[in-house]
Structure 1
Amino acid sequence: MLNDQNLLDLQKAYEEEPIPKELSQRVAEAVYKAERELLQEEERERILRGKKMKRRVISAAAAMVVVVGGFGLGVNTSKAFADTVSDIPVLSSLAKVFTVERIHEENDTYVADLNIPGIEGLKDKALQQRINNLVRQQVTAAVEETKAMMEENKKAYLETGGTEEDYMKREISVDYNVQCLNDKVLSFSVYKTETLASAYFDMFYYNYDLETGKELTLKDLLGDDYKDIANKQIKEQIAERAKEPGAMYWDTMEDMEADAFKTIADDQQFYINQAGKPVIVFNKYEIAPGYMGIQEFEIQK
């Protein structure tokens, strides 16, 4: 039977037990992300309470989302955590996706918070370098293009009677998610967002067969009839979703038939989920009003 001294000894041992490094890192990452999202939400609410602004739809050049596709471990965004995972035998052969660089930049026009990812641990080092270079090149180009556009927009705003005091800074963010990752296929997303009162995106997806180094296509995953297979399932899923309260698609709206979904594009954007299924993605406004957000459709072969 435990006495008071036994309980005190157990309590002391519990309190002195070190917190595992990987748990501490994951908690820190979660807190960092939550704080950033809270700040962004507070800024959006402040904007909405302020001066009314006419809504606008930004062109594809206004925002860039870069997505690199394949299979993944879920969210694996810390090199410290990745290093810890590599010590686990069952996972030691897998690649790791982690934050290579965090950048914060702010001026009178915009605030930029960028989390730049990188890959390590691929057996094919040439493919690894090629993907890392591609991500950095596309993210950098997207961010620089958006910065230039924001500077031009601010200049036009001031030249047409606006004031520095009334001008509201834009937000630029870059972050990423691992969709799925294993020894055969790699799929992760890097997304760049421009935010004022709403968020605007443009998206790119890259999917790789890690055994061959080949970039995967929908034809590789669904066969020669990939368009017919995808179109049929997307139309069926849109019809089901449209039944939900508040859901609207161009297909179901009067005078919007010209914008209704008809077929996927030759270079249709998609990623591969953990089940190995292609998930076709449509940006805001492509097949539905903006409030419906980005639309995703898992396709069965």
Structure 2
Amino acid sequence: MREGELENVAPKKLRPLRRHRLRNILGVAASLAIISAVLPNLNRSTAYALQNLPIAGAYFKLVTVRDYTLAEGDRTATVKIGEVQLETEKGNSAERAQKSAEEVNAAIQRITEEEIAAFREELGSEGFSNLEITTEVVTDNENWYSVCLTQLSQSADSAENLHYFTIRKRDGKLMALRDLFAPGSDYRKSVSEEIKRQMREEMAQNPEKVYWLDTDGVGNEFTEISEQQSFYINRDGKLVICFDEGDIAPMSMGSLQFVMPEALSGLTM
């Protein structure tokens, strides 16, 4: 962002201390007034930059803290995971944002350690296996910060598991799905019905797509999302509901995502 320079070309005069401080305060107020007046007339990119100066709210970065490979015979585990670190001005959101970052990091650490422990138990046994654990930022916009932890396991078959963590920047809150809906709303029903609608629409348009819905199958038909349903907010600010391979459809369809409409009942994002 290019910033103009305000210069005072009038000759300097010695003034009493109190008047000098008052002039500084008035000068700051005048500068803010100028920015407010000029902002609507700036081009879009410059206006966006000014609006997003780090005055309030939380700002994060993902820093790689573990990067290593374990290998023995035909078994290999590769770990490259990051830690969410907080970059924020002091404010009411800072303490909550720091706590949210710590919760995300603890979850990533716990899941990674569990997977590596399971991998170590297989070392020395016959057979091929490959494990990859990685993290990436999927959303970092004005309002949301979402990180994904991916576990990819390969042996006779392959399986991918995704764990999403979403923080609301304005107050640093680590979000649960229910937090995105009005209090008391039946959000699970609203989301589930929309997912079913999209499933039926996709299967009608493409016969090769198969969801476990409206079938006579036992124990695997999709009925409703869980209380711990995986989700994130995408770069367009829309709610995305996520399922791992084999959750609601054959493994061959991979990990599945459903973007929720902004007008979904109860949604208050």
Q: Structure 1 length as normaliser, TM-score?
A: 0.58
- 2:233 maps to a residue whose letter is I
When residues 194 and 140 of structure 1 are mapped into structure 2, their CA distance, relative to the original with a 3 A threshold, is farther
Match of 2:136 among 176, 192, 196: 176
Match of 1:242 among 182, 188, 203: 203
Partner in structure 1 of residue 171 of structure 2 = 212
Partner in structure 2 of residue 103 of structure 1 = 67
Are the equivalent residues in 2 in contact too, given 1:193–1:199 (CA < 8 A)? yes
Post-superposition shift, 1:252? Answer: 5.7
Match of 1:152 among 121, 125, 142: 121
Partner in structure 2 of residue 23 of structure 1 = none
When residues 245 and 151 of structure 1 are mapped into structure 2, their CA distance, relative to the original with a 3 A threshold, is same
Partner in structure 2 of residue 189 of structure 1 = 148
Classify the secondary structure of the residue corresponding to 2:219: helix
Are the equivalent residues in 1 in contact too, given 2:79–2:134 (CA < 8 A)? yes
Distance in 1 (CA, whole Å) between partners of 2:176 and 2:83 is 23
Over residues 193-247 of structure 1, what are the superposed CA-to-partner deviations in whole Å (9 max), with x where a residue is unaligned?
Answer: 3333554244433333333333333333233131221121101101112231421
Partner in structure 2 of residue 131 of structure 1 = 100
Are the equivalent residues in 2 in contact too, given 1:179–1:274 (CA < 8 A)? yes
Q: Which has the higher relative contact order, 1 or 2, with Cα contacts under 8 A spaced 6 or more apart?
A: 1
1:1-301 matched pairs, under 5 angstroms: 91-93=52-54, 95-108=59-72, 109-123=75-89, 124-155=93-124, 158=125, 162=126, 167-182=127-142, 184-196=143-155, 198-223=157-182, 224-243=185-204, 244-251=206-213, 255-300=216-261, 301=264
Segments of structure 2 that go 5 or more residues without pairing to the other structure are: 1-48, 265-269
When residues 171 and 205 of structure 1 are mapped into structure 2, their CA distance, relative to the original with a 3 A threshold, is closer
When residues 169 and 226 of structure 1 are mapped into structure 2, their CA distance, relative to the original with a 3 A threshold, is closer
Classify the secondary structure of the residue corresponding to 1:250: coil
Distance in 2 (CA, whole Å) between partners of 1:102 and 1:145 is 15
Post-superposition shift, 1:284? Answer: 0.9
Distance in 2 (CA, whole Å) between partners of 1:284 and 1:240 is 20
The higher radius of gyration belongs to 2
Q: Which has a greater percent of strand?
A: 2
Distance in 2 (CA, whole Å) between partners of 1:145 and 1:299 is 32
When residues 119 and 198 of structure 1 are mapped into structure 2, their CA distance, relative to the original with a 3 A threshold, is farther
Give runs of ≥4 in structure 1 deviating > 6 Å: none
- 1:248 maps to a residue whose letter is V
Are the equivalent residues in 1 in contact too, given 2:213–2:221 (CA < 8 A)? yes
Q: Which has a greater percent of helix?
A: 1
| Number of residue pairs the alignment of both structures matches | 203
Classify the secondary structure of the residue corresponding to 1:259: coil
Post-superposition shift, 1:290? Answer: 0.6
Are the equivalent residues in 1 in contact too, given 2:135–2:147 (CA < 8 A)? no
- 1:274 maps to a residue whose letter is R
How high is the sequence identity, in percent, across the aligned residues?
A: 22
Distance in 1 (CA, whole Å) between partners of 2:234 and 2:120 is 38
Are the equivalent residues in 1 in contact too, given 2:100–2:174 (CA < 8 A)? no
Over residues 105-129 of structure 1, what are the superposed CA-to-partner deviations in whole Å (9 max), with x where a residue is unaligned?
Answer: 2231423131314233234333343
When residues 197 and 127 of structure 1 are mapped into structure 2, their CA distance, relative to the original with a 3 A threshold, is farther
Distance in 1 (CA, whole Å) between partners of 2:180 and 2:53 is 27
When residues 98 and 220 of structure 1 are mapped into structure 2, their CA distance, relative to the original with a 3 A threshold, is closer
Post-superposition shift, 1:89? Answer: 5.3
Segments of structure 1 that go 5 or more residues without pairing to the other structure are: 1-87
